[in-house]
């Protein structure tokens, strides 16, 4: 159960299900720009049709945080992208393993619908932007790994009401898609929690601020043809300007959660609304970060990766499956992270956090793969976008992966007898 209480943390990663040990932690952080050239397709929004980007409003960044103990490690990579291909992730994994002997990589995308589409042949097949993105991520990981210093970590929680559930379920399970909600009509379920993990050097210098929030980055709509990280980018810039270090956004289970100012046209103040929401999240993250007064450096982490075969929703071949990679980490007895490869409905995130026996549990969506929507079983009956269209996995897949993550977390921590 997540609590609004400051808990002290420090990270050391152990692969598999070992017994916990106490180890000092070092950390390093680095970032690189991954903005695509103008003139390519943009991510998301079929309403854009064949339109391509015409400019750049704000840059897209890749940020890497390496946490390492004497023999164990974790590499967290956050990307201002809608998605990244499995091929590119494997390229990065192979290169980082060879260059700095790190292999526990988490690729967490923000899911911005104003980022560039990840194409292997743009701007040319010989020199695609995707290859440059791979190179920049590798450079960031290597720089972070080669500049490790002793670190300490603290965590805190807050709240921000900036998202609504876009599936309005009426009588008789009739669903109305509430794409825009500028009047802020109350909807349910939603997840307004803001989680912050603060990583500092021993002298208190900020190294990285991790911000976990649950809402689609779709303040900017299909009319926008300028590259942007949407509200997570505005949030990160404001946090970095006020705290220092680098700010890394961890998206939650936002499969059915949109901002109140969803798809605000540029001519009607789209960029201003995007900045307003980003700054609101930043201000809450800064408040939480400033309230963290206790830090620790000698707590253990476990890390586990599992590939789970999932049945397909519409396949005529009952033996054909979709492989889903889930990753789980524990930090001492207090914190748990569970990372999932797709657009999970908010109830999955709420379920994970409510059922977890850890004091602080983070649901990280859009991580290490993009397998489309993971609706709840009931949502599959009710219908609506994401519950039918856009979902390739069989009903119950989301619940199954959340259960697997909980089992893994308990095994890693030695709680499952």
Domain ranges of the chain: 26-145, 153-291, 298-413
Q: What is the pLDDT of residues 26-46, one digit of tens each?
A: 899 999 999 999 999 999 999
What are φ and ψ of residue 4, in 5° steps?
A: -85, 60
Is the per-residue pLDDT at 21 higher than 70? Answer: no
Residue 22's pLDDT band (boundaries 50, 70, 90)?
Answer: low
Is the per-residue pLDDT at 141 higher than 60? Answer: yes
Q: How far apart are CA 59 and CA 112, in angstroms?
A: 12
Is the per-residue pLDDT at 5 higher than 60? Answer: no
User: At 246, which helix (H) or strand (E)?
Assistant: strand 246-251
Residue 324's pLDDT band (boundaries 50, 70, 90)?
Answer: very high
Residue 227: what pLDDT?
A: 98
Q: How far apart are CA 270 and CA 293, in angstroms?
A: 37
Residue 3: what pLDDT?
A: 40
CA 88 to chain centre: 17
What CA dihedral angle connects 303, 304, 305 and 307, to 10 degrees? Answer: -160
Is the per-residue pLDDT at 14 higher than 60? Answer: no
Is the per-residue pLDDT at 10 higher than 90? Answer: no
Q: For 361-383, give one letter per residue: b (16+ CB within 10 A) or e.
A: bbbbbbbbbbbbbbbbeebbebb
Q: What contacts 93, CB < 8 A, 6 or more positions away?
A: 103, 105
Q: What is the pLDDT of residues 156-185, one digit of tens each?
A: 999 999 999 999 999 888 999 999 899 999
Rounded average pLDDT over 279-304: 91
Q: What is the pLDDT of residues 329-384, one digit of tens each?
A: 887 788 899 999 999 999 999 999 999 999 999 999 999 999 999 999 999 999 99
Mean pLDDT of the chain: 92
Q: What is the pLDDT of residues 177-193, one digit of tens each?
A: 999 899 999 999 999 99
């Amino acid at each position: 159960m997540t609590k609004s209480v400051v808990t002290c943390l420090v990270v050391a990663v152990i692969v598999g299900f070992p017994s916990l040990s106490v180890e000092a932690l070092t950390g390093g952080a680095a970032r690189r720009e991954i903005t695509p050239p103008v003139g390519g397709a943009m991510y998301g929004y079929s309403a854009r049709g064949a339109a391509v980007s015409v400019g750049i409003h704000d840059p897209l960044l890749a940020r890497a945080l390496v946490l390492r103990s004497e023999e164990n490690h974790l590499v967290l990579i956050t990307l201002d992208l809608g998605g990244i291909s499995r091929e590119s992730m494997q390229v990065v994994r192979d290169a980082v393993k060879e260059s700095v002997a790190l292999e526990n990589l988490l690729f967490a995308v923000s899911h911005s619908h104003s980022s560039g589409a990840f194409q292997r042949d743009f701007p040319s097949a010989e020199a695609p932007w995707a290859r440059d993105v791979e190179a920049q991520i590798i450079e960031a990981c290597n720089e972070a790994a080669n500049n490790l210093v002793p670190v300490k970590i603290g965590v805190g929680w807050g709240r921000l009401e900036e998202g609504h559930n876009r599936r309005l379920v009426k009588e008789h399970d009739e669903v109305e898609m509430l794409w825009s909600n500028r009047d802020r009509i109350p909807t349910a379920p939603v997840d307004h929690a803001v989680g912050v993990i603060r990583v500092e050097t021993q002298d208190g210098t900020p190294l990285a601020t991790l911000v976990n929030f649950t809402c689609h980055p779709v303040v900017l709509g299909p009319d926008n043809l300028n590259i942007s990280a949407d509200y997570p980018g505005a949030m990160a810039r404001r946090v970095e300007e006020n705290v220092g270090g680098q700010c890394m956004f961890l998206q939650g289970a936002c499969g059915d959660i949109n901002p109140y100012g969803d798809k605000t046209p540029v001519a009607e103040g789209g960029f201003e609304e995007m900045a307003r929401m980003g700054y609101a999240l930043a201000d809450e993250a800064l408040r939480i970060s400033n309230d963290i007064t206790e830090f620790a450096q000698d707590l253990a982490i476990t890390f586990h990766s599992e590939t789970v075969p999932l049945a397909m929703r519409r396949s005529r071949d009952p033996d054909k499956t979709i492989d889903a990679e889930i990753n789980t980490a524990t930090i001492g007895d207090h914190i748990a992270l569970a990372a999932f490869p797709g657009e999970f409905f908010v109830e999955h995130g709420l379920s994970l956090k409510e059922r977890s026996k850890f004091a602080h549990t983070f649901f990280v969506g859009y991580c290490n793969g993009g397998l489309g929507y993971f609706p709840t079983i009931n949502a599959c009956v009710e219908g609506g976008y994401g519950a039918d269209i856009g979902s390739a996995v069989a009903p119950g897949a989301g619940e199954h992966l959340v259960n697997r993550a909980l089992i893994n977390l308990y095994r890693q921590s030695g709680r499952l007898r």
